[in-house]
């Protein structure tokens, strides 16, 4: 826990933080918003942190929300890391993208097209997998049905 003083009124940039906390295609922005909102103990901040704790696909964001809520004295449970697909139909989307590319496409071409077409999916898995993201994505790409 950090020893930062908790402030009970509202931050001037509350609306901006609220938007950032709900930005689907940027887990780092959501994490930053959770960290900032965790310095302001009020019902609106608590509600947003609880929402991130219970619904965010990226474990790091859920874990940060948990720690901030715990510091506020809220009765919360440590989040469990999700297994399997983090987003509905992720494997189908990845397969569709692979099939849309030429037969002899490279992993890098696949990765770039995924980033362009589904930044939300790319960002969620990048946030969840961390340093293992590239290895995971390349392994997933190579295991998708051959065209």
What is the b/e burial string over 31-52, where b = at least 16 CB atoms within 10 angstroms of the residue's CB?
Answer: bbbbbbbbebbbeebbebbeeb
Report the C-alpha gap between 143 and 103 in whole angstroms.
Answer: 14
Q: What pLDDT band is residue 86 in, cutting at 50, 70 and 90?
A: confident
pLDDT of residue 84: 80
- Rg, Å, the chain Cα set: 18
Q: In the structure, what pLDDT confidence band is assigned to residue 147 with cuts at 50, 70 and 90?
A: very low
User: pTM score, two decimals?
Assistant: 0.77
Helix (H, G, I), strand (E, B) or coil at 118: coil
- Of residues 56, 120, 62, the one with CA closest to residue 89: 120
Question: Alpha helices of the chain — where are they, by DSSP H?
Answer: 14-21, 27-37, 43-55, 59-71, 90-100, 107-117, 119-129, 133-143
Q: What is the mean pLDDT of residues 16-21?
A: 88
Return the SS3 of 74. coil
Q: Report the C-alpha gap between 48 and 54 in whole angstroms.
A: 10
Q: Which two tokens stand for residue 132?
A: 């293992």
User: Rounded to an integer, what distance in angstroms lies between the CA atom of residue 128 and that of residue 131?
Assistant: 9
pLDDT at 40 over 60: yes
CB 94 within 8 A of CB 141: yes
């Amino acid at each position: 826990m950090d020893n930062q003083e908790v402030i009970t009124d509202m931050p001037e940039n509350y609306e901006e933080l609220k938007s950032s906390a709900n930005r689907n295609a940027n887990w780092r922005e959501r994490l930053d918003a959770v960290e900032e909102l965790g310095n302001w103990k009020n019902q609106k901040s608590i509600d947003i942190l609880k929402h991130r704790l219970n619904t965010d696909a990226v474990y790091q964001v859920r874990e940060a929300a948990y720690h901030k809520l715990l510091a506020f004295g809220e009765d919360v449970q440590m989040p469990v890391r999700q297994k399997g697909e983090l987003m509905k139909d992720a494997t189908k989307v990845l397969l569709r993208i692979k099939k849309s590319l030429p037969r002899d496409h490279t992993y890098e071409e696949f990765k770039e097209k995924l980033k362009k077409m589904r930044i939300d999916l790319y960002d969620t898995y990048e946030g969840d997998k961390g340093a293992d993201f590239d290895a995971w994505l390349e392994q997933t790409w190579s295991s998708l049905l051959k065209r």
